[in-house]
Amino acid sequence: MSMRIALASDHAGYRYKTLLAVYLASAGHEVVDFGTSSEKPVDYPDFIRPAAEAVARGECERGIVLGGSGNGEAIAANRVRGVRCAVCWNEDIARLARAHNDANMISLGQRLFSEPQAVAIVAAFLATSFDGGRHVRRIEKLDR
């Protein structure tokens, strides 16, 4: 299923953002790139927040944000109501973030894994659907 995906990074995640943009486009997804556009140092909220807002408004079905560790980016994204952004460091975490937490965004740390692992994490995130069931009431409690 083709999706519209928000993509954003700071300088420390720029290289993987570029790699993932190519991967996502080749997989048939529409990529909306919120920046940054180089490895020149920037402040991650300036790029992550607009991507998260696009996901929250429904303009993008999913979002992927990147930094050195991914932690600051996830915190920034999760400040936007309606966003559930999980820091992911392997495929299992990405699948669980979707299946159990209905994550609509993930955050990746470029310093934590290889390029092929980054692609595999994103592929797992995009291929997994929300399990629903008992998890729905938990998501509803988050949204209150």
- 11 counts as catalytic: no
C-alpha dist (Å) from residue 54 to 41, 49, 62, 91, 138: 23, 9, 9, 25, 23
What tokens appear for 134 in the block?
A: 């008992």
Phi, psi at 111, each rounded to 5°: -80, 0
Task: Give the active site residue among 61, 91, 100, 135.
Answer: 100
The dihedral formed by the CA atoms of 118, 20, 2 and 134, expressed in degrees to the nearest 10:
30
Task: Give the active site residue among 11, 29, 53, 73.
Answer: 73
Q: Residue with structure tokens 């300088």? A: 11
CB within 8 Å of 20: residues ≥ 6 apart: 7, 64, 66, 118, 119, 122
Catalytic residues: 73, 100
